[in-house]
Structure 1
């Protein structure tokens, strides 16, 4: 399970640590954020204690109208062993009751100068990205005409060489050898390279090259949505390969299915050009034009006319 430490949240958003210093290693395991308005009013039956608690002007205005005993009771109930942290927005001064309760339970209380709605949106997006399900795939990810193409295949089949040819033809490298893929939202797969090998490409006989240094910043990008998989394999004479394109194979990555094409490799085939055409054809299909299906329909119509 992916996790984000409170200390990482502080560093990313430049938050001020007010109290609860001993809880900086607490982990945030869900991306949902709680605005504990009902809890401040005293209703804790369904308190989502594992969520980050964000309080703005509305919650704290009501909190300050409570009696001192009620304020201590509310903050004590908010600061549980499972609560990762409490964030106060708009630079509002943190009430003393929060400081005392958070220090007792080691729940960090953080302060931000940002407006509540904007801060909530930014933290949610950050947590969804960091906590998204992730997998690593052996392959090469390239941005071809705006389509994220994940090239897979056995070691030595020519994935990196094909990616190099695509870069020379004006396309952009995202990752080589190892592609980290995160599922963001319901069905979006976003691929990137591990930081150690970012912008690097390994070519057998030549070694490791830095694509950004050789071809410029326009030849690379840090991440890209994975739209399709192209699997390279050595040409098997006994195998029948798809010649019409009517049978659309799918592959499941994490919880999302995307199209998968199998390209047989043999001397004389220009794989870079074929992948370019595959990317353009993918875009046409998304626009409603399916060449293979239209050919099959015309063929059926011709046979019926006879």
Structure 2
């Protein structure tokens, strides 16, 4: 049954047209050249990336792409703080919320499919909601550091994009640890296909991360939490109304490729610490006031002794 369902998903992804594939490339400058960031040079990195976003906005407008131009222009706002910005292709951006240089608790959010510069605001809204919930001496980083797959595409069913993304996430975490030092607690909060990225990055990660939380996961590409070979505490949750529960959590060989991501992270077989996520759906984990957001904040703050478990 799982093999049949996965085959159906693959065929659906192949036959349904994906409009983004035919979209013309949007001109943009290469990313700003920023020296290794330190607490004292964070402001220079922010300024350089805002300037890059402003230039990308002008180039997109000249190209006739008003939607991308507007997205880039919003990111060039003087109140925004980006550690990285790249307006080329679907776009990449790494935004900071809070005082990173002095934060004691830091959350790095890794998004799932269909997250681009045009759709970035919905991802950003979750980061803002989490930071508002965390309070002082914290920072949240929205890490759109990879080309996410389209939800309706074959790339959303395989680990290819995740494997490409993993080295970038690993390098970012190394650089982040260099900025915040060893005393700050860093948590990876990974959503949907982003859990596959985090699962790939965890294996071989040579920098300390305190917690890894998988929410709305189709699987991580690993059969168990132990197979991630991480010293981090591993957490998992799924909302009661999340459709991802109906996706087969398996891996099979189809059409010469491995499809699927393995064991369900909320299953006892995976071995994660499963926490309550409330009644929300697939896009509701970072909704203000939700059970899931409250528990994710507890993980980031290291305050899990009384956290409700599923």
**TM norm. shorter chain > 0.5:** no
The structure with the largest strand share of the pair is 1
> Whose radius of gyration is greater, 1 or 2?
1
Give TM class, smaller chain. under 0.3
TM-score by length of 1: 0.24
